[in-house]
């Protein structure tokens, strides 16, 4: 966010005073502590702290939400450097050096404060307004992150539901395929023929039931013999095949069956003759 409106004319003297202050501070610390590694390290550290604090104040940084923290650090560093410069003047037995030595960094600090104040945009937001906007930005970022997480959760739920539906579909297809395969492999179901003619003559054979002795065939009787003789129609077909006229066939049948009716026998012979002649005509 824009805080500074431009470069102030006070920036040039502030930079010059800062350069002179850094040079004076470095020489004083090296002269006070010696030209060894300790003196050079302390001098370089003081210069780095001085430049860093000036840059932080120009950017308007806040520490723990407090804007005054950075200027406080800058003034503390300035007081420490001023104390070292006073000590250096006292060690050198030079009262003017002890008094005038701290004036250079103090002057640079004051000029930088004026330059930063001049460069600050009067239309810039205050610290409270920036804090409100920062809270809004954080809330917006939080809402966006929560929205992304919620969308990921919904996508995962949708993928899970689709996977369950696909699994159920595959199971149903497999069940139907297995049912059709089982129907193809099932043998033909033929109902057994029940024997109802002589149910009492075939007892169930069990391990404890004694075996039945074979029965002798029944002796032939006149009724059995009559039932076993060929019918008039069978005799008619047989004699029609061996005779040339119907009269010969009728006489032969009456000879075998003297009790048969002559008209019935003649009708059977004529019917058998017509059937025989029809078959010959069909094959001829």
Which candidate, 51, 56, 59, 54, places its Cα nearest to that of 25? 51
pLDDT digits (tens, 9 = 90+) for 98-123: 888 788 888 888 888 888 888 777 77
Q: What pLDDT score was predicted for residue 107?
A: 84
Domain boundaries, the chain: 11-124, 125-181, 231-283
Q: What is the pLDDT of residue 153?
A: 94
Q: What is the pLDDT of residue 139?
A: 94
Helices vs strands, H then E, count in the chain: 10, 0
Instruction: Calculate the alpha carbon distances from 170 to 159, 175, 181, 245 in Å.
Output: 16, 9, 16, 81
Task: Return the axis-axis angle of helices 262-283 and 232-242, rounded to nearest 10°.
Answer: 50
What pLDDT score does 209 carry? 47
Task: Report pLDDT for 246.
Answer: 86
Residues of the chain with pLDDT under 50: 1-2, 200, 207, 209, 211-213, 223-226, 282-284
Global pTM value: 0.41
Indicate the DSSP class of residue 111: H
For residue 193, what pLDDT is reported? 57
Distance CA 78, CA 102 (A): 9
Measure the CA–CA gap between 77 and 54, rounded to whole angstroms. Answer: 11
Determine the 3-state secondary structure of 210 from DSSP: coil
């Amino acid at each position: 966010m824009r805080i500074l409106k431009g470069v102030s004319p006070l920036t040039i003297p502030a930079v010059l005073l800062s350069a002179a202050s850094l040079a004076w501070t470095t020489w004083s610390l090296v002269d006070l502590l010696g030209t060894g590694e300790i003196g050079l390290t302390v001098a370089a550290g003081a210069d780095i702290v001085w430049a860093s604090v000036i840059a932080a104040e120009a950017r308007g940084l806040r520490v723990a939400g407090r804007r005054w923290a950075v200027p406080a650090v800058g003034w503390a560093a300035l007081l420490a450097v001023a104390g070292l410069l006073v000590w250096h003047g006292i060690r050198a037995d030079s009262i003017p050096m002890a008094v005038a030595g701290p004036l250079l960094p103090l002057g640079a600090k004051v000029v930088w404060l004026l330059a930063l104040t001049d460069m600050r945009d009067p239309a810039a937001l205050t610290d409270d307004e920036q804090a409100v906007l920062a809270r809004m930005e954080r809330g917006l970022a939080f809402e966006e992150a929560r929205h992304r997480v919620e969308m990921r959760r919904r996508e995962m739920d949708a993928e899970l539901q689709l996977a369950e539906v696909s699994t159920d579909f595959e199971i149903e297809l497999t069940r139907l395929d297995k049912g059709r395969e089982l129907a193809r492999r099932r043998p033909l179901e033929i109902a057994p023929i029940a024997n109802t003619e002589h149910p009492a003559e075939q007892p169930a054979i069990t391990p404890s039931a004694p075996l039945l002795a074979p029965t002798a065939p029944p002796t032939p009787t006149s009724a059995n013999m009559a039932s076993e003789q060929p019918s008039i129609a069978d005799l008619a077909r047989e004699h029609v095949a061996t005779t040339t006229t119907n009269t010969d066939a009728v006489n032969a049948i009456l000879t075998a069956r003297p009790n048969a009716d002559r008209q019935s026998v003649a009708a059977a012979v004529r019917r058998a003759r017509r059937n025989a002649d029809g078959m010959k005509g069909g094959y001829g």
